[in-house]
Amino acid sequence: MSKQSICERERSNLEKMNKFQLENQFKKIGFIIAIGAFVLMIVRKYIEDSEWIRPILHGILLIGLLLISLSKEKLEDEFIDSLRSQSYRLAFLVAIVYSLAQPLVNYGVAVLLNQDDELKSFDYFQVLFFMLIVQLLFFWQLKRMNK
């Protein structure tokens, strides 16, 4: 095989992955999953010895939000694709700032309230949840502003 054909195949595969989206009907499924997981997280608070189910519900909630994020709009065109790309970029940048600032904010609050003075980290769920929520909110806001 020539180098050109290998590069063309790789470029084609990258373009396919770049354009990957789920059908619009997955948005409804994602909302049902996300809302159901959120309700179950609230119910879990009132059940004793239910700490083992927490990471499962976190994963399910993230899957629901990801389905919403990856689903096409009813009318998917280049403009919507551009808005989606902008919202992913903005969510990524805001999540980085959040990840850097949140431990410092927690430390400052702990110092003000005379609690233990150590920098507390946060888990992957907080970052991923924040990033997906911010992406969806930016996308919906950009879409609403540009109608």
- Provide mean pLDDT across the span 36-63: 91
- Structural contact between residues 23 and 61, judged by C-beta atoms closer than 8 angstroms: no
Q: In three state form, how does the secondary structure of 67-104 look? A: HHHHECCCCCCHHHHHHHHHHHHHHHHHHHHHHHHHHH
Which stretch, 1-15, 37-51, 102-116, has highest mean pLDDT? 37-51
- Provide mean pLDDT across the span 46-57: 88
Nearest to 69 by CA among 128, 127, 12: 128
- What percent of the chain stands above pLDDT 90? 44
Greatest alpha-carbon span in the chain = 68
Report the half-sphere exposure of 64 (CA within 13 A, side-chain side).
18
- pLDDT tens digit sequence for 56-67: 999 999 999 999
Instruction: Quote the pLDDT of residue 66.
Output: 94
- pLDDT tens digit sequence for 108-147: 887 888 776 565 667 888 889 999 999 999 999 999 998 7
In angstroms, rounded to a whole number, what is the distance separating the alpha carbons of residues 86 and 78? Answer: 12
Token pair belonging to 83:
């808005």
- Provide mean pLDDT across the span 47-71: 91
Nearest to 88 by CA among 96, 28, 73, 75: 96
- Provide mean pLDDT across the span 29-37: 96
Instruction: Quote the pLDDT of residue 117.
Output: 57
Looking at every residue in the chain, the average pLDDT score rounds to 87
